[in-house]
Amino acid sequence: MYIRPFKVEQWMNEWETKAVYNLGETCVDSLRIDELLKLCGEDPAEYLRKLGGVRLTYGHIEGSPELRRGIASLYGGIPSDNVIPTHGAIGANYQVIMTLVGRGDNVVCVKPTYQQHYSIPESIGAEVRPLQLKYEEKFLPNLDELNRLADKNTKLITINNPNNPTGSWIPDETTRAIVKIAERVGAYVLSDEVYRGISEGGEYMTSIVDLYDKGISVGSMSKVFSLAGLRLGWIAAKDMSVREACLARRDYDTISCGVLDDMLSALALGHKESIFERNRTIIAKNRAILDEWVEKTPCVEYVRPTAGTTALVYCRKNIASRELSIRLLKEKGVLTTPGECFDLEGCVRIGYAYDSKQLQIGLDKIAEMLGEI
């Protein structure tokens, strides 16, 4: 089964370790284990002693009760039986698409987004109908366009909310309108919600699962929880037949998630407010740095991100995005992600939720480079 190379992952694999100023990162500044334990009110020495007694079996095959309760607490009204832990959100997306989509189906998928959402269905032989998000529409889904694209063969409508790379966040009334269209054609809505949790106004955004019986939410510990190293994500779905079908497939490619990943994720979810408080502060500070930079830098513009950890910054210079990103790395030590990784030109993705100092210096160096082009 041929699958297209995953552009953004290949880009990061090739360049991430070579950066001096990392503006490619999409996680909110990742936590060390001792930082996590402190945020959760645990004594690190005591906790590590407790870990020493943990037997490294396969653990709870479908996730420990504490973990599933913690995940379910992120949603308005689903019991913990309705969540399935996976290997990251990447495992969750894969699981859902491979389970629900077949040859001959079509999938309507917002673009730009995480490439899994269009390249996996394409590799299965499904028809992918991109719903292009546009700068002039603030990167929000165009409902007329969606209405036109969805038909009786649409198995899945995929959104990414908040969106990577644009940092846009679909308001509830628009999500409700998307649900109406999905209902009309009988499609599931897969909402990749890995960046859900920290919005500018502080709200915990509504999940698709709380708006649609055939809504499927994918989340993970990686981004807003700052714990990508745990490699723990999940699928949350109201529809029990989706759960059963995903679990049946999961026996073939997952068995269980790691015992330590499960334990630490459950702990973090039990203290989510402390982690969110830390991360809200980082994001607010860094978003202000980005805003100020865009304001004062000639020839750059963006749709101001209102959620998530990334922004798509347009540079009005005559240079291909990949060439610009490579020059930024080689000449200035700054890692950005070229728009080309998302099939876009004229822009680079900036991940702004990492270290404030690196962000400030990195942005200044981008301005310097643009002045030289």
Interface contacts to ligand PLP, rule CB under 6 A:
26, 88-90, 114, 160, 164, 192, 194, 220, 222, 228, 233
**Residue with smaller CB distance to ligand PLP, 109 or 369:** 109
Question: In the bound complex, what is the minimum distance in angstroms from residue 96's beta carbon to ligand PLP?
Answer: 12
Question: In the bound complex, what is the minimum distance in angstroms from residue 27's beta carbon to ligand PLP?
Answer: 8
Cβ contacts of residue 124 below 8 Å, gap of 6+?
1, 97, 98, 101, 102, 103
**Residue with smaller CB distance to ligand PLP, 337 or 365:** 337
**Residue with smaller CB distance to ligand PLP, 22 or 26:** 26
Question: In the bound complex, what is the minimum distance in angstroms from residue 309's beta carbon to ligand PLP?
Answer: 9
**Residue with smaller CB distance to ligand PLP, 350 or 370:** 350
**Residue with smaller CB distance to ligand PLP, 83 or 370:** 83
Cβ contacts of residue 281 below 8 Å, gap of 6+?
none
Question: In the bound complex, what is the minimum distance in angstroms from residue 319's beta carbon to ligand PLP?
Answer: 25
For the chain, helix (H) and strand (E) counts, in that order, are 13, 13
Cβ contacts of residue 317 below 8 Å, gap of 6+?
299, 324, 370, 373
**Omega before 305 cis (within 30°)?**
no
> Which residue, 118, 116, 119, 122, is CA-closest to 103?
122
24-162-132 Cα angle (round to 5): 90
Question: In the bound complex, what is the minimum distance in angstroms from residue 310's beta carbon to ligand PLP?
Answer: 8
Question: In the bound complex, what is the minimum distance in angstroms from residue 152's beta carbon to ligand PLP?
Answer: 28
Question: In the bound complex, what is the minimum distance in angstroms from residue 222's beta carbon to ligand PLP?
Answer: 3
**Residue with smaller CB distance to ligand PLP, 106 or 310:** 310
**Residue with smaller CB distance to ligand PLP, 59 or 308:** 308
**Residue with smaller CB distance to ligand PLP, 47 or 118:** 118
Structure tokens given for 234: 């999940």
Question: In the bound complex, what is the minimum distance in angstroms from residue 370's beta carbon to ligand PLP?
Answer: 26
For residue 277, count other CB atoms closer than 10 A to its CB: 11
Residue facing ligand PLP at closest CB distance: 88
73-78-79 Cα angle (round to 5): 85
Q: Can you say how many angstroms the Cα of residue 39 is from the centroid of all Cα atoms in its chain?
A: 23
Beta pairing, strands 310-315 & 347-351: antiparallel
Cβ contacts of residue 164 below 8 Å, gap of 6+?
26, 113, 114, 194, 195, 308, 309, 310, 349
Question: In the bound complex, what is the minimum distance in angstroms from residue 93's beta carbon to ligand PLP?
Answer: 6
**DSSP letter at 207?**
P
Cα distances (angstroms) measured from residue 154 to each of 102, 160, 175: 11, 17, 17
Question: In the bound complex, what is the minimum distance in angstroms from residue 90's beta carbon to ligand PLP?
Answer: 4
Integer Cα distance of 117 and 97 in angstroms: 8
**Residue with smaller CB distance to ligand PLP, 154 or 158:** 158
Residue spans of alpha helices (H) in 233-271: 240-253, 259-270
**Residue with smaller CB distance to ligand PLP, 82 or 222:** 222
